[in-house]
C-alpha cells in the first residue's frame, strides 16, 4: 500500500499526486483541443485521461490511523 503521508522533497506524496493530476488534466485538455481542431490528438487525450484517473484513484485512498 502506498503511504500518502510520507514526505518527499518537503511535501507529502498526496500533494505530489495532486500535482500529477493537474499535469494529467493539462495533457488531456491539450489532447482534446487537438481532437476538436483536426482530429489527431486521441492518443494524447487518452494518456492524459489515464494519468488523471490513476491519480484520482490513488489520492482517494483514506488515511489509516496506524499509518500516521
| DSSP of 17-51 | HHHHHHHHHHHHHHHHHHHHHHS--HHHHHHHHHH
Residue 1 covered by a domain: no
Q: Could you give the number of structural domains in the chain?
A: 1
- Is the pLDDT at 68 greater than 80? The verdict is no
Q: Smallest Cα–Cα separation from 2: which of 49, 63, 44, 51? A: 63
Asked whether residue 47 is domain-assigned, the answer is yes
This prediction has a pTM of 0.83
In a domain, 67, yes or no: no
Nearest CA among 17, 7, 6, 16 for reference residue 60: 17
d(C-alpha 12, C-alpha 53), whole Å: 19
pLDDT band at 4 (very low <50, low <70, confident <90, very high): confident
Q: Provide mean pLDDT across the span 1-5.
A: 77
Which residue segment(s) compose the domain that 22 sits in?
11-62
In a domain, 4, yes or no: no
Within-domain flag for 28: yes
Q: What is the pLDDT of residue 65?
A: 65
pLDDT in tens, 6-46: 888 888 888 999 999 999 999 999 999 999 999 899 999 99
| Domain assignment present for 33 | yes
Amino acid at each position: 500500500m502506498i503511504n500518502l503521508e510520507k514526505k518527499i522533497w518537503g511535501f507529502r506524496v498526496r500533494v505530489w499526486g495532486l500535482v500529477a493530476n493537474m499535469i494529467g488534466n493539462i495533457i488531456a485538455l491539450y489532447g482534446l483541443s487537438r481532437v476538436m481542431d483536426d482530429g489527431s490528438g486521441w492518443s494524447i487525450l487518452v494518456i492524459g485521461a489515464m494519468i488523471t484517473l490513476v491519480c484520482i484513484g490513488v489520492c482517494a485512498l483514506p488515511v489509516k490511523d496506524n499509518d500516521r
